[in-house]
Structure 1
Amino acid sequence: MSSASPYLNPTFPGSGQNRPLAMSHRGFSLAGQENSMAAFRAAIDLGFRYLETDVRATRDGVLMAFHDPTLERTTDGRGELTAHTAGQLAQLRISGEPIPTFEELLAAWPDVCLNVDVKDMAAADELARLIEAYGAHDRVLVASFSDRRRFRVLRGLSRPVAGSAGIYATAGIYLLGFVGLAKLLARILRVHAVQVPVQYGRFTVVTRGFVRRCHRAGLQVQVWTINERAEMQRLLALGVDGLISDRADILADVMAERGSWPQRERA
């Protein structure tokens, strides 16, 4: 199973046939600093080259690396992020750290790959603009629960980027995999991966059969959010192609045990 996307076919030591990719979820922090430059830097210092983040647009159209629709959980601010300008958000802090713009993150480490979850439609056009401005097509994967938002990004790009399926598209791929039509649907949807939890409620998604059917369709299977060593090892044994984790420290150790670390030389 392979993909034409350079993002999904990395060249760091131990990559290629020795996948999977290891992705640090919103950077790495055990102190509530998710989606901050400090958290991203901590993951990179552990050897990560793949970071997962989220994007939302401010009232004046600046793209922020931020997950929640509201500010209260992770910052000292209040209200919806989209109701604030970038200047207003610059005054807020995530455990002492400013909220980063996506452009700051994109520019800070030019060799780092970013798995970007597009959280609102207003973010789509600006994400496309920044990918174009930085020529970042080969180091960005565009993800969203909404394929409509993902397609909005794609329409603004001059050349392809890696993409993962939205929630309904993933369901279609799952079902059509049983009758050999998942590859056709993936081509229509312009996706290269499915990013899924192990389970939706009581329904188990990630099985050996599901991984096999996705691979037959040319799709990678990347699983979130996996924080326990034993579960990481179990999923790797099933043949998944990527793990997304809050516990970047544990995931780095597991990948090192497989001889596929670091993804990026430590500073």
Structure 2
Amino acid sequence: MHARVAAATTTALLGGTVLILPTSSAHAAADDRGPAVVAHRGASAYAPENTLAAVDKADDLGFGWVENDVQRTKDGVLVVLHDATLTRTTNVEEVYPGRAPWKVADFTAREISRLDAGSWFAPRYAGARVPTLSQYMNRVSRNHQKLVLEIKNPELYPGIERQMLQVLSNEGWLDPGHLRSRLIVQSFRPDSVRKVHDLRPGVKTALLGTPSIADLPEYARFADQINPSYTSISVGYVAAVHAFRGPHGNPLEVLTWTVDDADTARRVARYDVDGVITNRPDVVRRALRGY
């Protein structure tokens, strides 16, 4: 692992004891030479985001970590989609013209399966579909990839944490091997992250955003990572996060997003981040060679 920067005035906290401990570092699981490189919504600069094509493109480029977003349909099926509406990344307005505002939660999984989720990106991806979480997990498993799963808008979908964990369990992703080094669950909502930890303490969890250092002792009780935008961090902030220990007894980690150019990638690497989430994983990997 790359060297940690010491923080002077923080206190380490330990959470509850669990039987299955995740590995101490996301980047160590991926590449001992530097921060992990996580393909944001798949390799989303090169294929339509959150589709199976984007997962496969990340695999083709040689990336083991992918990130996705999860929403829930009207009939309770978890689907992989970033937005709470279908308009930006599908042809929903053409297929269902009278159903504005086209919220995911207003459509059944069968209705969503009819939508084209690829043509907006490029003609060659016409016919790509919005995958269910089960379909997505099957593809990630087939590719032997690892996953950073984001629960989107949990306030819109009561109980989504328990349901998401059930899908992961059904797909074989809550066994010791996956929990140890292949799965991270994150959200912008602390209550959602806490709920995942409470329901399944062995799951590695992350809080998205840049909370104040004063709030880190509380978050360290249920989050293993603090994952901020690259625009909001400094070497001092990353060092302060690293000085705390999460619920599994390991130093809190930092995965920063969304870094798409070489100069920014090298800058955040100098901050000692543990991982970089990017739409252009190949660009970031080239920039980080030697870190």
Q: TM-score, normalised by structure 2?
A: 0.75
Structure 1 partner of 2:7 = none
How far residue 31 of structure 1 moved from its aligned partner, in angstroms, is 5.7
Match of 1:251 among 284, 288, 291: 284
Match of 1:212 among 234, 239, 247: 239
Match of 1:99 among 121, 127, 130: 130
Task: Answer yes or no: is the 8 Å Cα contact 1:128–1:154 preserved in 2.
Answer: no
Task: Answer yes or no: is the 8 Å Cα contact 2:71–2:153 preserved in 1.
Answer: yes
Structure 1 partner of 2:107 = 84
* Compared CA separation, residues 7 and 73, structure 1 to 2 (3 A): farther
Q: Secondary structure at the match of 1:164?
A: strand
AA in 1 matched with 2:104: L
Q: Secondary structure at the match of 1:114?
A: strand
* Compared CA separation, residues 85 and 24, structure 1 to 2 (3 A): same
1:133-152 aligned at under 5 Å gives the runs 133-137=170-174, 138=179, 139-152=182-195
* Compared CA separation, residues 230 and 166, structure 1 to 2 (3 A): closer
Match of 1:162 among 178, 197, 204: 204
- The one-character-per-residue Cα deviations of 1:197-231 (angstroms, maximum 9, x if unpaired) are 123xxxxx311111111111121111110111111
Alignment gaps of 5+ in structure 1: 177-181, 200-204, 260-267
Counterpart Cα distance in 1 of 2:139 and 2:22: 23
1:58-69 aligned at under 5 Å gives the runs 58-69=73-84
Counterpart Cα distance in 2 of 1:7 and 1:43: 24
Structure 2 partner of 1:234 = 267
Kindly indicate whether residue 232 of structure 2 is the aligned counterpart of residue 193 of structure 1: no
Task: Answer yes or no: is the 8 Å Cα contact 2:69–2:150 preserved in 1.
Answer: yes
AA in 2 matched with 1:150: V
Counterpart Cα distance in 1 of 2:277 and 2:45: 16
Structure 1 partner of 2:121 = none
AA in 2 matched with 1:197: S
Identity of counterpart residues, as a percentage?
24
Task: Answer yes or no: is the 8 Å Cα contact 2:258–2:278 preserved in 1.
Answer: yes
Task: Answer yes or no: is the 8 Å Cα contact 1:127–1:153 preserved in 2.
Answer: no
Counterpart Cα distance in 1 of 2:59 and 2:240: 33
Structure 2 partner of 1:45 = 60
Counterpart Cα distance in 2 of 1:13 and 1:114: 12
Kindly indicate whether residue 69 of structure 2 is the aligned counterpart of residue 26 of structure 1: no
Deviating more after overlay: 3-12 vs 104-113: 3-12
Runs of 4+ in 1 over 6 A off after TM superposition: none
Structure 2 partner of 1:262 = none
* Compared CA separation, residues 32 and 103, structure 1 to 2 (3 A): same
Task: Answer yes or no: is the 8 Å Cα contact 2:84–2:153 preserved in 1.
Answer: no
Q: TM-score, normalised by structure 1?
A: 0.81
AA in 1 matched with 2:285: A
How far residue 114 of structure 1 moved from its aligned partner, in angstroms, is 1.1
Task: Answer yes or no: is the 8 Å Cα contact 1:92–1:98 preserved in 2.
Answer: yes
Q: Which has the larger radius of gyration?
A: 2
Structure 2 partner of 1:131 = 168
* Compared CA separation, residues 10 and 228, structure 1 to 2 (3 A): closer
How far residue 12 of structure 1 moved from its aligned partner, in angstroms, is 5.4
Aligned positions, number: 239
